Amino acid sequence: MRMVELIQKKRDGQALSPEEIRFIIRGYVEESIPDYQMSALTMAIFYKGMTPEETAELTMAMAQSGDQVELSFPGKTFVDKHSSGGVGDKTTLIIGPMVAACGVPVAKMSGRGLGHTGGTIDKLSAIPGFKVEMEQAAFLEQVNRIGISVISQTGNLVPADKKLYALRDVTATVDSIPLIASSIMSKKIASGAKGIVLDVKFGSGAFMGSLEEAEILAKTMVNIGHSLGRETVAVLSNMDEPLGRAVGNSIEVLEAVDALQGKGPKDLMEVSFELASWMLVLGKKAKTRDEARKILEEAVEQGRAMEKFLEFVAAQGGDTEAVSRKKLQIAPYKAEIQAEKDGYIHRIDARTIGVCAMNLGAGRETKESAIDLGAGIYLQKKSGDYVRKGETVLELYTSDLKKAGLVAESLKDVVFLKDAPLLNKPIVAKVLDQCCIN
């Protein structure tokens, strides 16, 4: 087989065979296929797409390109959750303990944040003493003992995706549906998930700008999951505005603590309950989403979700006192953005808030950037709220006084006000499982 002929075949719109896809992924990981040929192929895929069969084959070839973890927990079904990335998305911190408190094991390998989106591992690192690195045996032992562990991605999991994602990033081929879908699903398959719950976001702060695009991505991933024998459900949620009120690291952990006690912002509670409900359904703890939701609400009301969070923090060396007394480090300098007139808030743009939080130090511009765990933005008001001129809408936190002024300046127009009230838009727009797709 010659790579140049396979590039030509895809360029001309033909489907690649399973053998050809395996040849490409093997060759790319072993470095017999160079970056320049792989770039040409990803651009051809960008323009010509892939059939569902090709996308599933690509997913499997990538999943098998490195270590595969066989996570099995006696008598239990291992369900994983993945979010396509957003601003203020702290749902893993909430869903993990909720679901574990209801008997579905949570064994998660998460990433750090990059660009305007945050990462679970950075958020957990804001808890003093919390260890995000662990040997696989200790990771599994903890899940078996207390039902939950979240660590940073280790080992040689899906090396094909690591190489390919870095290449796509610099060749303008990230936003290709078959490439995004296979990238996400290969990591879930390699980590041994039997059930997969996907949070596919759409809107200004998400990869997919519109609900229609997000739906195509979600369908592609649900189809991949089912064709590879994994029960998969996708929840489509709105990311035009940050999820919840807190964007940063320490401040997001504090908001997650509120949510685990049932006191989180409405949109955050809604998305968390929806995703957690599907995890309970796929984890065989409930027959329907509604039944699952009742079980989860009870776990929150009875304090079991919060107890599980503290048990999880303690197991990974974190300071439970600091968490339960809400004493995490917040950056010392504060600036405020006030409403310029009276009116109803119609929009606080998620992407702008994400980029500004990053500029305050809460995120990374490049993989090498340092992070200020105490920095971030707190939304005192959200879309739908009525504000009077001069009322504080946003609070900015940073350790760098100069940044506070600069970022405040760039946030002057982020709050979009109108005289008329905003019509209520549901945060969860749609749920797709195999039944909805056929």
Site residues for ligand URA per CB under 6 A: 84, 165, 174, 179-180, 183-184, 207
Q: Which is nearer to ligand URA, 179 or 356 (CB)?
A: 179
Q: Does 26 participate in catalysis according to the annotation? A: no
Contact 15, 54 (CB under 8 A): yes
Q: Distances in Å between the alpha carbon of 367 and those of 102, 111, 112, 158?
A: 36, 11, 9, 19
**Marked catalytic residue, from 123, 187, 188, 308:** 187
Contact 220, 177 (CB under 8 A): yes
Q: Which is nearer to ligand URA, 207 or 397 (CB)?
A: 207
CB of 154 to ligand URA, least distance (A): 16
CB of 113 to ligand URA, least distance (A): 12
CB of 110 to ligand URA, least distance (A): 11
Q: Which is nearer to ligand URA, 90 or 168 (CB)?
A: 168
CB of 67 to ligand URA, least distance (A): 17
Strands 246-248 and 231-238: unpaired
Q: Which is nearer to ligand URA, 196 or 411 (CB)?
A: 196
What whole-number distance in Å separates Cα of residue 199 and Cα of residue 80?
11
**Marked catalytic residue, from 80, 161, 258, 267:** 161
CB of 412 to ligand URA, least distance (A): 31
Q: Which is nearer to ligand URA, 79 or 164 (CB)?
A: 164
Q: Does 82 participate in catalysis according to the annotation? A: yes
Instruction: Point out the residue whose Cβ comes nearest to ligand URA.
Output: 183
**Marked catalytic residue, from 168, 245, 351, 364:** 168
Q: Does 327 participate in catalysis according to the annotation? A: no
Q: Does 183 participate in catalysis according to the annotation? A: yes
**Marked catalytic residue, from 149, 152, 176, 183:** 183
Residues labelled as active-site residues: 82, 161, 168, 183, 187
